[in-house]
């Protein structure tokens, strides 16, 4: 087992010390560090990776852990925690079930993004939640053309575009009015950001599709970003290609709650209206 977290954050540093003590005699800890400190060889020797923090920490770790196919146990020390499904108390209480395989492990798809110009690759990265094009400064609307598998889909005048995984459907995609997908699905969501159109609605396509974005008008600060963590500036003749990444990442699900219960408790999804008779 391996522990990941940011020791510069006091609550995380304390949790890492507490978890190290808790795991004594229960599991062998191969490393306790930041994800960037671990080599792929060390990761491949692990049965599980316990990631302490919020969803951002898990997203950072998942990109490396996906290559080693190490299941992620997310322990929430952040604010929301969709991927960080366990509280500290839940992890300790269910530890025996987790390591014995009683807790379900779910495979989640990822996205790969490639930016090219004149046929030459300029940039490549991968994403857990989403790849999005943001208009950027001076914050005028941009115009882009979307194609799937070489066939033109639509032109879009907007503040940008989001391509989301099912995992990321509850992140930026949801805020922009996109649909919620079950995390285990194999699909991609294309969602415009503030489109200059009343009829441009988000669409869901098969995970095997290849999305290509070209530009008719952009800003000096227009960028493409992966999970809001890695970004690259764009030029007018750049081509952004987004497709399913070959590797997936594994998440240990909390057997005490369903994804829909998480949506309801953390985002108030499907909450009943407050009727007059009930409020009086």
Is 103 among the domain residues? yes
Percent of the chain having pLDDT more than 90?
62
Percent of the chain with pLDDT over 70: 96
How far is C-alpha 194 from the chain's CA centre?
21
Q: Is residue 92 a part of any domain in this protein?
A: yes
How many Cβ atoms sit within 10 Å of the Cβ of residue 248?
18
- Of the listed ranges 79-88, 167-176, 219-228, the least confidently predicted one is 79-88
pLDDT at 36: 65
Residue with the two structure tokens 């800890």: 29
Same structural domain, 77 and 92: yes
Structure tokens at 40: 């792929």
Q: Are 51 and 74 contained in the same domain?
A: yes
pLDDT of 245-275, one tens digit each?
999 999 999 988 888 888 888 888 888 888 8
Question: Would 276 be classed as within a structural domain?
Answer: no
Range from 21-35, 87-101, 205-219 carrying the lowest mean pLDDT: 21-35
| Range of the structural domain that residue 57 is part of | 2-108+248-267
Tell me the C-alpha distance between 145 and 202, whole Å: 15
Are residue 207 and residue 129 in the same domain, yes or no?
yes
How many residues does the structure list for the chain?
Answer: 280
- Name the most confidently modeled range: 17-26, 96-105, 108-117: 108-117
Which is higher by pLDDT, 4 or 150?
A: 150
Both 204 and 219 in one domain: the answer is: yes
| Catalytic, out of 55, 130, 159, 238 | 55
| Per-state percent for the chain, helix, strand, coil, to nearest 5 | 25, 35, 40
pTM of the model: 0.91
Here the CATH number for the domain that contains residue 60 is: 3.40.50.10330
More confident residue, 204 or 63: 204
Query: For position 38, what pLDDT does the model report?
Result: 72
Q: Does 275 fall in a domain?
A: no
Count how many Cα atoms sit within 13 Å of the Cα of residue 128 in the half-sphere of its side chain: 25
Report pLDDT for 278: 66
- Active-site residue 55, yes or no? yes
Asked if residue 260 and residue 240 are part of one domain, the reply reads: no
> What pLDDT sits at residue 208?
98
279 confidence band (pLDDT: 50, 70, 90): low
List pLDDT tens digits, range 77-111: 877 677 888 989 999 999 999 988 889 999 999 99
What is d(CA 162, CA 184) in angstroms, rounded to the nearest whole number?
A: 19
Q: Is the pLDDT of residue 37 over 70?
A: no
Mean pLDDT to the nearest integer, 39-68: 85
Instruction: Specify whether 93 is located in the same domain as 209.
Output: no
- The answer to whether position 274 is within a domain reads no
- Considering the domain architecture, whether residues 123 and 234 belong to the same structural domain is answered as yes
For residues 144 and 240, state if they share a domain. yes
Of 160-169, 208-217, 249-258, least confident by mean pLDDT is: 249-258
Q: Is residue 259 part of a domain?
A: yes
Q: Cα dist. 207→66, 69, 171, 184, 245 in Å?
A: 18, 20, 18, 12, 10
Mean pLDDT computed over 39-52: 83
Q: Tally the domains of the chain.
A: 2
Q: Tell me: do 102 and 137 sit in the same domain.
A: no
∠ CA 3-130-70, nearest 5°, is 30
Q: Are residues 71 and 96 in the same domain?
A: yes
Q: Which region among 29-33, 60-64, 151-155, 267-271 has the lowest average model confidence (pLDDT)? A: 29-33
Instruction: Tell whether 277 is covered by a domain.
Output: no
Listed in sequence order, the residues at least 6 apart from 138 whose beta carbon sits closer than 8 Å to its beta carbon are 219, 220, 221
Provide the mean pLDDT of the chain.
Answer: 91
CB 252 within 8 A of CB 70: no
pLDDT confidence band for 234 (50 / 70 / 90): very high
In a domain, 226, yes or no: yes
pLDDT(280) > 60: no
Q: Are residues 96 and 128 in the same domain?
A: no
Question: Average of pLDDT values for 58-86?
Answer: 86
227 and 261 share one domain = no
Q: How far apart are the first and last CA of the chain?
A: 53
């Amino acid at each position: 087992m391996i522990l990941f977290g940011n020791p510069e954050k006091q609550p995380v540093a304390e949790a890492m010390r507490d978890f190290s003590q808790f795991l004594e005699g229960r599991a062998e800890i191969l490393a306790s560090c930041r994800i960037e400190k671990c080599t792929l060889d060390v990761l491949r020797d692990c049965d599980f990776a316990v990631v302490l923090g919020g969803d951002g920490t898990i997203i950072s770790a998942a990109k490396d852990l996906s290559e080693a196919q190490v299941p992620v146990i997310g322990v929430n020390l952040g604010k929301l925690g969709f991927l960080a499904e366990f509280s500290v108390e839940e992890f300790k209480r269910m530890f025996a079930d987790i390591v014995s395989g009683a807790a379900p492990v779910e495979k989640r798809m990822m996205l790969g993004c490639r930016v090219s110009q004149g046929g030459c690759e300029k940039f490549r990265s991968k994403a857990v939640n989403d790849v999005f094009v943001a208009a950027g400064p001076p914050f005028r609307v941009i115009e882009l053309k979307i194609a799937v598998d070489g066939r033109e889909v639509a032109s879009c005048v907007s503040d940008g575009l989001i391509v989301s995984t099912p995992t990321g459907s509850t992140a930026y995609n949801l805020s922009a009015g996109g649909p919620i997908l079950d995390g285990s699905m194999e699909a991609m969501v294309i969602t415009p950001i503030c489109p200059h159109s009343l009829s441009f609605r988000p669409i869901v396509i098969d995970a095997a599709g290849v999305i290509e974005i070209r530009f008719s008008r952009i800003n000096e600060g227009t960028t493409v970003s992966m999970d809001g963590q890695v970004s690259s500036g764009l030029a007018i003749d750049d081509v952004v290609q987004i497709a399913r990444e070959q590797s997936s990442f594994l998440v240990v699900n909390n057997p005490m709650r369903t994804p829909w219960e998480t949506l309801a408790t953390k985002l108030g999804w499907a909450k009943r209206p407050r009727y007059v008779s009930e409020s009086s």
